[in-house]
């Protein structure tokens, strides 16, 4: 299993655990009448689960399993794939911090965290698509 795949999958597993903790918090809010601010974690919960866990697990598996790009470069453009890993994760962490804070403490003006997060995740996602695209082919 390539190193980048291990990074993708282990990071995905950490996000899975975090998503379940967030899911528990959201359920606890309803059950114990906790402050309404907890609901600000709802979009973060979805995206930790679907970007952090599901998409990232898929990226790791695709990087490993897709047909080889060439003999010399079996996994295609590896630096681009690594940059996808870094950009998506930095972007997602900024969202995890920025989105609830921006909702709960609007006066702190942390909106820029979300702007940076959006740009990083977008470039990261597109970088992964570029590396995967050329490996999706008939043999």
Partner 1 sequence: MTRLSVWTVRTALLYLGLGFLLGALMLLQKGLPLDPGLLRLLPLHVEFVLLGWTLQLAMGIAFWILPRFSQEPRYGSLRLGWSAYLLLNVGVLCAGTGQWLGISPAVFLLGRLAELLACLCFVLHAWPRVKPTGG
Query: Of all helices (H) and strands (E), which one includes residue 2?
Result: none
Report helix, strand or coil for 94: helix
Q: Does 131 bind ligand HEM (CB under 6 A)?
A: no
- By CB under 8 A, name the one of 17, 28, 105, 111 that touches partner 1: 111
Q: Does 55 bind ligand HEM (CB under 6 A)?
A: yes
Q: Does 118 bind partner 1 (CB under 8 A)?
A: yes
Binding partner selected for residue 42 from partner 1, ligand HEM, none, CB under the kind-specific 5 to 8 Å limit: ligand HEM
Cα gap 116→94, rounded to integer Å = 8
28/67 with CB nearer partner 1: 67
Question: Near ligand HEM by CB under 6 A, which window of 11-19, 65-73, 77-85, 116-124?
Answer: 116-124
Cβ atoms within 10 Å of 52's Cβ, excluding its own: 25
Measured CA distances, 48 to 11, 54, 55 (Å):
11, 9, 10
CB 88 within 8 A of CB 120: yes
Residue numbers at the binding site for ligand HEM (CB under 6 A): 42-43, 46-47, 50-51, 55, 118, 121-122
């Amino acid at each position: 299993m390539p190193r980048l795949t291990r990074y993708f999958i282990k990071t995905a597993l950490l996000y899975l655990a975090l998503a379940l903790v967030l899911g528990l918090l959201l359920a606890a809010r309803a059950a114990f009448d906790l402050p309404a601010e907890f609901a600000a974690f709802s979009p973060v919960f979805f995206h930790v689960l679907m970007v952090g866990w599901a998409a990232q697990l898929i990226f790791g598996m695709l990087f490993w399993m897709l047909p080889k790009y060439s003999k010399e470069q079996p996994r295609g453009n590896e630096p681009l794939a690594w940059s996808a890993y870094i950009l998506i994760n930095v972007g997602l962490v900024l969202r995890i911090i920025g989105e609830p804070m921006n909702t709960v403490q609007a006066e702190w003006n942390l909106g820029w965290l979300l702007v940076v997060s959006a740009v990083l995740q977008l470039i990261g996602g597109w970088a992964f698509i570029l590396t995967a695209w050329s490996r999706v082919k008939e043999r």
